[in-house]
């Protein structure tokens, strides 16, 4: 791939991350809406304990979905702050880092993904790998898990 291909790839990764996060938020919203319907339709029966247990389970699920929503919005905010068109000269949010072990997109910890026919890892600067890479430039070496790794290029 040439420089332009890598820059396009970086934009595709960013778009893919935004799409995944949008899908997650939509799923969480649908699940919350479903729980709200279940809560409204829960009728108090003569077996009061059964009613209370059902309400408590719904409440626990609601809290779980709300936490997931908050975490997803936090990750979305990190990705939205990135200008994917920016060419990075050092490892910073929005950088696509090429290492001998693969492509790393610095933005938010979303893990391994397959974009445009290639595997890449979306990581945050606060991850162990992100901390090892932070501020480095192309050609730099760094230590990670007792290995010396060279940064092949940064876009």
pLDDT, residue 24, reads 97
Question: What pLDDT does 153 receive?
Answer: 97
- The CA distance from 155 to 143, in Å, is 21
Q: Are 130 and 142 in contact (CB under 8 A)?
A: no
Residue 130's contacts (CB-CB under 8 Å, 6 or more residues apart) are 91, 106, 123, 124
pLDDT in the model for residue 59: 87
The continuous run of DSSP H or E covering 86 comes out as none
Q: What is the pTM of this model?
A: 0.84
Tokens at residue 92, please? 């910073």
Block means of pLDDT (10 residues each) for the chain, 155 residues, are: 92 97 97 86 57 78 95 95 95 97 96 96 96 97 95 97
Kindly write down the DSSP assignment for every residue of 51-96, as one continuous string.
HHHHHHHHHHHHHHHHHHHHHHHHHHHHHHT--TTPPPSBS-TT-E
Give the per-residue pLDDT at 48: 56
pLDDT for 39 equals: 77
pLDDT for 63: 94
Give pLDDT, residue 46: 46
pLDDT value, residue 49 = 59
- Centre a 10 Å sphere on the Cβ of residue 122 and count the other Cβ atoms it contains: 23
pLDDT at 62: 92
Which of 10, 6, 5 is closest to 107 using CA atoms? 10
């Amino acid at each position: 791939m040439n420089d332009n291909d890598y820059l396009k790839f970086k934009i595709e990764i960013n778009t893919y991350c935004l799409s995944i996060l949008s899908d997650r938020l939509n799923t969480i919203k649908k699940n919350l809406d479903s729980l709200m319907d279940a809560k409204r339709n829960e009728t108090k029966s003569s077996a009061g304990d059964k009613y209370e247990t059902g309400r408590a389970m719904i409440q626990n699920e609601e809290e779980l979905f709300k936490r997931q929503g908050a975490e997803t919005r936090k990750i979305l905010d990190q990705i939205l702050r990135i200008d994917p068109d920016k060419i990075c000269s050092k490892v910073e949010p929005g950088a696509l880092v090429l290492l001998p072990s693969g492509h790393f997109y610095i933005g938010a910890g979303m893990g391994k993904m397959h974009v445009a026919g290639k595997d890449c890892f979306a990581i945050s600067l606060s991850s162990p790998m992100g901390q090892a890479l932070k501020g480095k430039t192309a050609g730099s070496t760094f230590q990670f898990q007792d290995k010396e790794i060279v940064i092949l290029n940064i876009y």
